[in-house]
């Protein structure tokens, strides 16, 4: 009996769409949003709905949008590095990847508009950075310095600011929160560099100048470690100046732990980049939370 060809799908399966939006990547901005909630000093009682809407905005909406945009404009690179991904594998056919990115952008802005002016502004900037990171003509990811900076601001700083703004009625967060959000965003540049070690071959072939491509793996690993560590030294100094010695001591201990793990990572950065992400980054984000508690309810 002759075999019957199965026609290709003209639309993506829900499982492929979920894979495109990458739920595992939602954690960093959701955590940063939570740090912003803590830093606001506003109790969750009576604000659960607003807080949950903000978490939805930070992770399943804005972050998911950035993942869809990136996969659409990275489809040629992914065909080399990760051909099993939804778009290069054909599980998301035609221009559906682009349509999903547009739809999620609009939905994100709609939710943000209902949460206050500064929340909307933060979301708008975050989405603009997400598109600028991946899409031409800017395509910031072609340069590891600019691209990773955009990611750090979007994933950590803007999510933190949004978390505080949501809880204080959409107003502008205080200077202490803005300072911490900015510093941890700078440190996140190094975290983004860790993700570049797995795609050096495809990046080099497609002209994407990530730090491992530009500097070499060993130098890029060293830069990533210093970029993660130096902002935390500034955070410690700020916490001490704000008379928060306990929280400063916690960040010191967490930074020392990162330093020990960094030494191991630097001996074989290509093989241990994922390992460091799994063990070192949790210490980094715990320091974020300790810092958020330190400025809880600050008004300046």
Q: What is the total residue count of the chain?
A: 300
For residue 10, give both structure tokens.
């003209």
Element (H, E) at 71: helix 64-73
Predicted structure pTM score: 0.89
pLDDT of 5 above 50: no
pLDDT of 98 above 50: yes
Tell me if residue 54 falls in helix, strand or coil.
helix
- Give me the sign of the Cα torsion angle 155, 125, 51, 245: positive
Residue owning tokens 């093989």: 271
Report the alpha-carbon distance of residue 281 to residue 48 in Å, rounded.
28
Which residues neighbour 51 within 8 Å (Cβ) at sequence distance 6 or greater? 37, 44, 166, 167
The whole-chain average pLDDT of the chain stands at 92
What average pLDDT does this structure show over 197-226?
A: 90
Per-residue model confidence as pLDDT tens digits over 112-123: 999 888 889 989
Per-residue model confidence as pLDDT tens digits over 164-174: 999 998 888 99
Using an 8 Å Cβ cutoff, are 280 and 261 in contact?
yes
Per-residue model confidence as pLDDT tens digits over 245-283: 999 999 999 999 999 999 999 999 999 999 999 999 999
């Amino acid at each position: 009996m002759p075999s019957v060809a199965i026609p290709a799908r003209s639309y993506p399966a829900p499982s492929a769409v979920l894979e495109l939006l990458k739920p595992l990547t939602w954690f960093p901005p959701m955590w940063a949003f939570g740090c912003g909630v803590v830093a606001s000093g506003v109790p969750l009682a009576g604000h659960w709905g607003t807080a949950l809407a903000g978490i939805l905005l930070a992770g399943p909406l804005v972050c998911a949008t950035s993942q869809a945009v990136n996969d659409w404009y990275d489809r040629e690179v992914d065909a080399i590095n990760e051909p099993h991904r939804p778009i290069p594998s054909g599980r998301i056919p035609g221009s559906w990847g682009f349509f999903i990115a547009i739809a999620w952008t609009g939905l994100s802005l709609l939710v943000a508009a209902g949460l206050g002016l500064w929340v909307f502004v933060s979301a708008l900037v975050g989405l603009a950075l997400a598109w600028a990171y991946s899409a031409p003509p800017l395509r910031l990811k072609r340069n590891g310095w600019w691209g990773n900076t955009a990611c750090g601001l979007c994933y950590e700083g803007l999510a933190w600011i949004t978390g505080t703004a949501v809880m204080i009625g959409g107003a502008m967060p205080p200077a202490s929160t803005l300072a911490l959000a900015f510093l941890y965003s700078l440190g996140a540049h190094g975290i983004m560099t860790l993700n570049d070690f797995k795609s050096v071959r495809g990046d080099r072939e497609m002209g994407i100048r990530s730090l491992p491509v530009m500097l070499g793996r060993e130098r890029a690993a060293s830069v990533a470690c210093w970029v993660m560590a130096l902002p935390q030294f500034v955070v410690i100094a700020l916490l001490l100046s704000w008379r928060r010695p306990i929280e400063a001591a916690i960040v010191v201990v967490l930074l020392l732990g990162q330093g020990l793990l960094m030494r191991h990572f630097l001996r074989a950065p290509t093989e241990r980049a994922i390992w460091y992400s799994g063990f070192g980054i949790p210490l980094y984000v715990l320091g974020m939370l300790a810092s958020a508690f330190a400025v809880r309810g600050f008004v300046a």
